[in-house]
Chains A and B, each alone.
Chain A
Amino acid sequence: MLQLLIAGLTVGSEYALIALGIHIVLRATRVVNFAQGEFAIVGGLIAFSCVDALHFSVWIGLIAATLGGAALGLAFEALVLRPAGRGGESGATIATIGAVFVLLYGHALVPGWGSEGHLLDSFGGNNLVVPVPPLINQFKGLGPQVTIVNPQSLWVLGLLLVALAGLYVFFERSYYGKAIRAAADNPLGARLVGIDVRSARSISVALGIALAAYGGTIIGPITLVGGAAGLTLTIKAFVAAVLGGLDSPIGCVAGGLIVGVLEVFATLTVGNDAADPLVYTLLLVMLLVRPQGLFGRRDAVRD
């Protein structure tokens, strides 16, 4: 039970980080980036190459993936989002779907990456044996006495907290973070008070993509990096964001963790094949019943 919960929170952490990225890009550009999950995949692969081909430590790989994600984000903003944004929301959305194809099939062409998944080195530590508290054990009767926890799960949760703390400090405490928020909320007003709205946009997108790359890397030792799962990641993160509230950063994180846990339990009850459709159905239901999400504001949904 505890093991499943931790497994759910672990995959949920990746959804949370990608969902946060979607949220940041959406706020800055008014576009939902369908390629967000692909950037998580590419980020993980960058880290994999650092470790596998260049023999750096996995920590260097994580830094390279994050910076690489930021660089890709800058390019993505300049080459796709900005020019396509002039064609309205539909056009920009379609352009990000085009970017999915470029990244999904493009990464398979990179030597050493290919279209299959790779296992990333663990961030360190041995399996932890956690005794189940006697009280719970009593109620459950004949349950196992101990739970084995993959140390990477703890790394993932810890690194999620590190990222969240960093984001909080950046957006709430630093001048640049506040300027970026201002530029996203009211571009004209921000321009009038002297904020460079265009670079604020670029930085936001770079940050959003870097988060996805970071998320794709820290989960790598558990779920593999690479492969064709990018669009699945995007939509699960979007489910998470809609569940928590697309306009609420806390909602995105909470939604990600909830979707992760739900998914793990759904896999256990209805099997692997049916779990994903169930998660997507959750999206349609959420959209119809409570489109503002659990933590969002009602007026954020309609135009």
Chain B
Amino acid sequence: MLAVFAALVVVFGVVARGDAGLVQAGTYVAIFALAAIGLSVLLGNVNQISVGQAGFFGIGAYAVGYLTVDQGWSFWLAAPIGVALAALVGIALGFVALRFRGHYLAMATLAFGLITVGIFHAAPALGRASGITDIPYAQLGALTLSGYPMYWFAWFVAFLAALATTALLRGRTGRAFEAIRNDELAAEAMGVPTRRAKIAAFAYSGALAALGGALFASFLGLVNPDAVGVALSVDFLLMVVLGGSGLVSGALVGAALIGFANVVGHQYDNWREVVYGVLVIAFVVFAPRGILGALRAQLGRRRRHIADTGDAGATAASADAAVAVLHAPSAEPVAVAGLTKRFGGLVALDDVTFALEAGTLTSVIGPNGAGKTTLFNVICGIGRPSAGSVTIGGADVTGARPHRIAALGVGRTFQGARLFDEMTVLENVVAGMPRLAGPVARERANAIVARLQLGGVRDVLAKDLAFGDRRRVELARAVASEPWLLLADEPAAGLNEAERLRLHADLRALRDAGATILLIEHDVRLVMAISERVIVLNFGRVIADGAPERVRNDPVVIAAYLGTAS
């Protein structure tokens, strides 16, 4: 798609050579495309809405204006400084974004955009309302980057950014973004450092916008607060929504459409913006993935069909290597001591202490609300314990972030299976290995999918899966990174008898391969059959802990389950 677009840019450049107006329009498209690509990453790939993109654009433009005019610096020094400054501001805004999403974030970014414009307006050094004028053209050796040369230079920069962004999205970072977009909590539990990824996305997006702004100031020769106001932020949003958010070429298409609509429609002021507004609403309602998104969905359907028929038996060969497990780094894979978790007045966990032995399968049972899932969450780092400690592989990880704990070799499945719904089964399993390079991860994912007999649904989107398959895909994703400790939260709930047996066979195989498993399960019969040890929780306390036969006959356990006073 990028190649097609590059060809269009070259053809346009050659055809428009003599027409200064067209060349100028084409140059603006490249400049705006930079900011749109950045916003597209933020909105489409990480699902972070921003109505302040013009603020970053303004930072780049004003940096070039101020440093070249007032300080007499070269463009080549001023532009990188503007980009770096925007990246820093992006990091700061990213921290705000860590705490908020949706409309809170939209408002916060709108405020950010208004604050930057307000500063441009108020600062005497930046020329207040009239802005900075007489910004010199950039010099490339003897060549002055104005008019026609600037067209080619701007597009050169835009394509560098497009290629860099494509590479970024194809790699590990892109997979992390995709996982975050689908389900942030599950992504974190798979070992994706979601905070860092989100902050990085804001910094990257802001830096690209500032790059566009730097070119803008140098090309136009002036910058003022009105040029980088909220209307421009909305323009960027429109470009991304129109072209297809999350797609680099979508941002290019959106920038091209809006860029030329601005030129063609410049005498229809007001009407033009009304049409833009209607288009935004129409695209959100009828084509939320934009022009290119809709196009790709069509192409993708055809391609997937071909893949289905061609590629079926190719991966069976490496199947046996799949469910290998790294051995526990210490004899004591996980130990909790005095673990307590309070939510307001409610005590969900009350002084829980136990240590698991390596290579065993331990089940946690207990009535609803006994604190089983809270126990898992606290072990995984989701929510800090109110008191007590968690030790994994001999290291104290109390209060560590979930992705750090996952990185130690801890896999986890969720009650109700939190899959990445917009991804295929194979992509889900690949997402379970955020630290592996793409090709390696894909090869291993193929093997695991084959091993767990999920080959038939390999390319099905997770949201279209049957319930039983969802469970098994989640298990496949959790074991993909070869965890030596697996926390499985009711993996068998809602499964039929045959699926249940298969699941437990899989768990047993994993245990036999050396993994330590902690399992939450309601089916007491199955628990007794497969566990070496059973821990019973009630009202957040451990009321029994030991071999299955002993626990089964424990009067306290029987009382808790039958509901009589103990």
Contacts and interface: CB of A to CB of B under 8 A. Distances in A.
B110 interface: yes
B111 A280 contact: yes
Nearest to B49: A90
B47 A90 contact: yes
A115 B270 CA distance: 9
Given A84-B281, A95-B281, A95-B284, A100 B99 contact: no
B274 to A, nearest CB: 5
A109 interface: yes
A230 to B, nearest CB: 11
A99 interface: yes
B353 to A, nearest CB: 30
A231 B230 contact: yes
Contacts of A26: 103
A277 B234 contact: no
Given A98-B279, A274-B118, A283 B96 contact: no
Contacts of B237: 94, 97
Given A100-B234, A291-B100, A273 B280 contact: no
Contact of A277 (B118, B274, B280): B118
Given A32-B106, A95-B285, A100-B277, A276 B101 contact: no
B280 to A, nearest CB: 3
A209 to B, nearest CB: 16
Interface string A21-44: 000001000011010000000000
Contact of B112 (A102, A103, A284): A284
Given A83-B285, A94-B241, A89 B118 contact: no
Contacts of A92: 284
A283 B110 CA distance: 11
Interface in B266-282: 269-274, 276-281
A244 B51 CA distance: 23
B284 A98 contact: yes
B280 A280 contact: no
B104 interface: yes
B119 interface: yes
A274 B288 CA distance: 38
B560 interface: no
B115 A97 contact: no
Contacts of B172: none
Interface string A73-90: 000000110011011011
A94 B108 contact: no
A281 B115 contact: yes
Contacts of B234: 97, 100-101
Contacts of B103: 26, 31-32, 89, 93
Contacts of B270: 105-106, 108-109, 115
22 contacts: A26-B103, A34-B106, A79-B281, A80-B281, A97-B51, A98-B280, A101-B273, A101-B276, A102-B281, A106-B274, A109-B270, A109-B271, A238-B107, A239-B111, A273-B128, A277-B118, A283-B107, A283-B111, A287-B104, A287-B108, A288-B99, A303-B101
Interface of A: 26, 31-32, 34, 79-80, 83-84, 86-87, 89-95, 97-106, 108-109, 115, 231-232, 235, 238-239, 242, 271, 273-274, 276-277, 280-281, 283-284, 287-288, 291, 301, 303
